[in-house]
Structure 1
């Protein structure tokens, strides 16, 4: 039984070469569908990344007590860095804060006369990513209390509306992106199914002959299913390879002022889902077409 299974599988792989032109067209069609779907997913992924930079995080401006020793401040900076969901933490000593202020004000910002008697305290700007399961109320307030509870902290500033906007954007992104992904999945299924079905029509005579000589349905179907799986796997792989080439050529296309946007490639899990979906649809399309 196992030997027959391997023989039918190998026959399905070998049968791909029987109609090379039809198989090549099928492979190209599957690769193009994968490429187009991947391009749309890359666009959605990067739009979401850019919007999440301003809508998916909450910032806290933290000021430490002016008379607090530097060693204690550094310890509390480490405590902030250890907090959950921290995305970025910029720290400022009194000297660096004065320099930053002077740079911001330009020519009018000459504060060299304050160098010996700097009134600015140690400070930091902490950006926290809003967790996916966070409620619009309560999460940011709890985080504010946690930061204020540090012994050396003097003041903490943040905008409550920012937390609401961050959580609201997460909800909107899920509502918008998931229907688009579902629509893309439907388009991929229809195109790949029709392509595989047209490809199998070239082997209709072979199937009729095998049926007439008494071959069992599983004996007929398995090689064809194997062929559909190979076509889906190779086509999705080729499409992802083309997608990587397009990304390599365009990743820095918008990375210049005032945009400064770097186009990021799809994460590995999303690439695996794309390849798996196309391969699964190709295999199931072979099953439906054979039946």
Structure 2
């Protein structure tokens, strides 16, 4: 006897209204990163160390990219250090700028001393030196080497001299020339001479060097952006299928973009650290010859490098270039990858 087929039991209401299966792990992680602060930080930490591990798993390619970035950043940083040292030398030469006042004949030593005291109160003047006619004749005899001929002169032909050292710097040529004009207008001054031409030439050279540093630095910064962008682009193309699968299961562009951005961060950071190492070694190699040259000129000049603030700025710029290059590459190529 063939029995009747058993009836299907009706599904309970709770079972009928059972929600759909939960999202996949990647999609859930991407969604949680926008809702929970703790999950957001955890996802960023995972992406940060995942990108570092990816560089570690490709040591040769990563080392070559970091080396290119480090050398590209070390070149403008080295030019900046050279320029800073030149400016320090030029700043010490500013003290050689002076206005020589030749007083009128017959001016007494007391009048010359009174004039020097009045000039000392001028805020534009750092210090004043007086040279009496007797002192000037003695210095001339010692420097020229024919003191006997000078002793034969019936009278001392040298006038009283007041040497004024401006408190201004050598690159403030207009202010120094204005000071010279004011000093020459005094009634007891016969002539005022200024030795500023060589200082102006020096600062013109320094200005050219500054522009050169900016131009070279801008070109090499663009090179760093291109190097990082090309590296991230190749990484995106190599992981194209993985990105397509991640998008199929619900991963957002922000979630996929995150490891690539942190990859650019690590490249920029490591490249900046390498640039500091290269710059430090270069300064160490140059310190000996520079000290020897300074000793030949009876100087104690010491070659200076980047201070802490400049080093931190270099690292921040390097990180910014790495993030910028990776952002450009990811934004350009991630939109072109869609699951088919």
Query: In which range does the TM-score fall when normalised by the shorter chain?
Result: 0.5 to 0.7
CA–CA distance in 2 between the matches of 1:76 and 1:249?
A: 47
Comparing 150-159 and 37-46, the one that deviates more: 150-159
Residues 223 and 101 of structure 1, relative CA distance in 2, 3 Å threshold: farther
TM-score, with length taken from structure 2: 0.59
CA contact (8 A) 1:58 1:166 kept: no
Alignment partner of 2:170 out of 115, 123, 129: 129
Alignment partner of 1:287 out of 327, 331, 338: 327
CA contact (8 A) 1:8 1:223 kept: no
Residues 13 and 120 of structure 1, relative CA distance in 2, 3 Å threshold: same
Comparing 231-240 and 121-130, the one that deviates more: 121-130
Matches within 5 A, 1:31-110: 31-43=70-82, 59-62=98-101, 66-68=109-111, 70=113, 73=116, 76-77=119-120, 79=122, 82-83=123-124, 91=129, 101=140, 104-105=143-144, 107-108=145-146
**How far 1:217 moved relative to its partner?**
0.6
Residue aligned with 2:169, SS? strand
Alignment partner of 1:215 out of 251, 262, 277: 251
Alignment partner of 1:9 out of 19, 44, 50: 44
Alignment partner of 1:277 out of 313, 317, 326: 317
Gap runs ≥5 in structure 2: 1-33, 332-340
**How far 1:10 moved relative to its partner?**
1.1
Give the superposed CA RMSD.
Answer: 4.7
**How far 1:283 moved relative to its partner?**
0.4
- Whose Rg is larger? 2
TM-score, with length taken from structure 1: 0.66
CA–CA distance in 2 between the matches of 1:96 and 1:193?
A: 71
CA–CA distance in 1 between the matches of 2:243 and 2:193?
A: 74
**1:232 corresponds to 2:268:** yes
CA contact (8 A) 1:61 1:158 kept: yes
Residue aligned with 1:6, SS? helix
Comparing 172-181 and 88-97, the one that deviates more: 88-97
